[in-house]
C-alpha cells in the first residue's frame, strides 16, 4: 500500500499529540514522507529504513549513528504481518521506549483505515465497470468482465432485467443501498447525478415487492423496470426501463414495469419527430371539430348511440361526420384496423 503525504501528515500529528516530541514517518525506501519538522520531509533516514528492513526497532544515540537521523527511536509499522514503514520519535531513546506500543498501534489504525477505504473504492470501481459495461453495451475488456462476473456470482446463462430509479433527492442513496442489499442484490449502484441502477435476475425479483417499494418511496422517486432477457442484451432492458421510468413520472407513481405494456409505452420509444410526422400526415386534413368527434367516438368505444348523446347530435349526423372523416383521411373510423390507425395518430398528436 502506498502511503500518501496527507495520510503521513495525519499520522505524525496524531502521534505528536500523544508523545510531544518531533515525529517522522519513513517509507520503505527510507524517505521521510511526514514530519513535524517540515524541513526533514523528502530527506533520507537510514535508521528508519533499517527498521523497515529488519522489522525491529532501531535506536539512534551516540553509539548508534545513522545517516540523516537524530537521537531517538524508530519503530517498524506492520500491515498484514509485514513492515511497510517506520515511525521515528526524536529524543532520548531510553525515555521514549514507553511509547513504543502505543505509537505503533496509533499508526497501524490509520493505515488499516486507509486500506479499507482503498478496498472500498476499488470495489466501487469494479462494480461500476461491470454494471455500466452491461447497460451501455460497452465491454472494452471481455476478460476483465468475465472475472467480475465470477466475482459477483453473475451467471451468464440466466436472464436479467434492469431497474432504473430517478431520485428526487440524492440523500436517498444510503436508503436505496440498504434496501437492495437486504434483498441480496449485489449489482446495485448510484450513477451521477441522480440515478440508481439495479440488475436483477428472476430469483431476486421474486423477493422484490413493487407494492412495498411504492409505499416506502411514494413521492420521493420514480422508477421503471425493463424486461428480462439474456445478460449481454441488458442494454435493451435498461433502455426500456428508462422509458418505463419516464412513464411512471408522468403518472406520478413510484414504479412502472415495461412488461405491463401499453400503447403509451410503445409511443415513448418513437422519436418525437416521427410521432409528429405521422399525426400530421393522418390528421391534418381534419378540422378541430372533426378531431373532437373522433376523440369522443373512441372514448365511447365506437358506439354511435353513446357518442351522439355525448356530442348532443343526432345519430345520422354523427354517421355523416364519420363518413366525411373517412373521405378526408382515407381511413374509416367504423372499420377496426382504420380506427386503430386513427387512434394511434391521436395519441401521437397528444
pTM tops 0.75, yes or no: no
Query: How much is the pLDDT for 239?
Result: 93
Cα distances (Å, whole numbers) of residue 173 to 167, 169, 207: 8, 8, 20
Query: What pLDDT shows up at residue 181?
Result: 94
Domains, the chain, ordered by start: 5-114 (3.30.450.40), 153-268 (3.30.70.270), 272-349 (1.10.10.2840)
Give the model's pLDDT for residue 121.
Answer: 61
SS3 222: strand
Under a CB-based contact definition with an 8 Å cutoff, are residues 15 and 23 in contact? yes
pLDDT in the model for residue 328: 96
User: Strands 229-230, 159-167: parallel, antiparallel or unpaired by DSSP?
Assistant: antiparallel
Q: How far apart are CA 44 and CA 30, in angstroms?
A: 6
In order along the chain (350 residues), what is the average pLDDT of each group of 10 residues? Answer: 82 91 93 93 94 93 82 91 92 88 88 75 85 92 90 94 95 94 94 95 95 95 96 95 89 89 71 91 95 94 93 94 95 93 90
DSSP state of 98: G
Contact 123, 92 (CB under 8 A): no
Distance CA(319)–CA(55), nearest Å, equals: 99
Phi first, then psi: what are they for 185, rounded to 5°?
Answer: -90, 120
Longest pairwise C-alpha distance within the chain: 120
Given this model, what pLDDT does residue 234 score? 96
pLDDT at residue 1, rounded to an integer: 63
Q: Secondary structure of 134-163 in the HEC alphabet?
A: HHCCCCCCHHHHHHHHHHCCCCCCCEEEEE
List helix spans (H) across the chain: 5-19, 46-54, 93-96, 100-135, 142-151, 173-182, 202-206, 210-217, 234-250, 263-268, 272-283, 288-299, 304-311, 315-329, 336-349
What is the Cα–Cα distance from 317 to 321, expressed in whole angstroms? Answer: 6
- The Cα–Cα gap between 127 and 121 comes to 10
Amino acid at each position: 500500500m502506498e502511503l500518501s503525504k496527507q495520510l503521513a501528515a495525519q499520522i505524525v500529528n496524531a502521534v505528536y499529540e500523544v508523545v510531544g516530541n518531533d515525529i517522522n514517518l519513513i517509507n520503505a525506501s527510507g524517505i521521510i514522507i511526514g514530519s513535524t519538522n517540515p524541513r526533514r520531509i523528502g530527506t533520507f533516514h537510514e535508521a528508519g529504513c533499517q527498521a523497515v528492513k529488519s522489522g525491529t526497532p532501531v535506536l539512534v544515540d551516540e553509539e548508534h549513528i545513522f545517516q540523516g537521523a537524530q537521537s531517538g527511536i524508530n519503530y517498524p509499522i506492520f500491515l498484514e504481518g509485514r513492515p511497510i514503514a517506520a515511525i521515528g520519535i526524536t529524543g532520548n531513546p531510553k525515555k521514549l521506549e514507553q511509547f513504543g506500543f502505543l505509537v505503533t498501534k496509533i499508526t497501524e489504525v490509520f493505515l488499516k483505515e486507509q486500506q479499507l477505504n482503498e478496498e472500498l473504492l476499488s470495489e466501487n470501481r469494479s462494480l461500476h465497470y461491470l454494471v455500466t459495461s452491461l447497460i451501455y453495451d460497452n465491454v472494452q475488456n471481455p476478460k476483465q468482465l468475465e472475472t467480475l462476473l465470477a466475482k459477483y456470482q453473475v451467471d451468464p446463462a440466466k436472464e436479467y432485467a434492469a431497474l432504473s430509479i430517478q431520485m428526487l433527492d440524492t440523500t436517498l442513496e444510503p436508503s436505496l443501498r440498504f434496501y437492495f442489499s437486504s434483498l441480496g442484490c449485489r449489482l446495485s449502484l448510484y450513477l451521477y447525478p441522480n440515478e440508481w441502477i439495479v440488475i436483477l435476475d428472476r430469483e431476486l425479483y421474486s423477493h422484490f415487492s413493487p407494492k412495498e417499494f411504492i409505499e416506502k418511496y411514494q413521492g420521493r422517486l420514480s422508477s421503471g423496470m425493463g424486461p428480462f432477457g439474456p445478460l449481454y442484451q441488458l442494454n435493451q432492458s435498461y433502455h426500456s426501463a428508462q422509458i418505463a421510468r419516464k412513464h411512471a413520472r408522468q403518472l406520478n407513481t413510484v414504479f412502472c414495469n415495461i412488461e405491463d405494456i401499453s400503447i403509451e409505452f410503445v409511443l415513448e420509444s418513437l422519436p418525437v419527430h416521427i410521432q409528429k410526422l405521422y399525426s400530421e400526415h393522418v390528421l391534418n386534413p381534419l378540422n378541430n371539430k372533426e378531431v373532437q368527434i373522433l376523440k369522443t367516438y373512441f372514448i365511447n368505444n365506437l358506439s354511435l348511440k353513446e357518442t351522439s348523446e355525448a356530442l348532443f347530435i343526432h345519430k345520422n349526423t354523427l354517421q355523416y361526420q364519420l363518413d366525411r372523416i373517412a373521405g378526408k383521411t382515407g381511413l374509416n373510423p367504423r372499420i377496426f384496423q382504420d380506427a386503430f390507425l386513427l387512434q394511434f395518430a391521436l395519441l401521437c398528436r397528444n
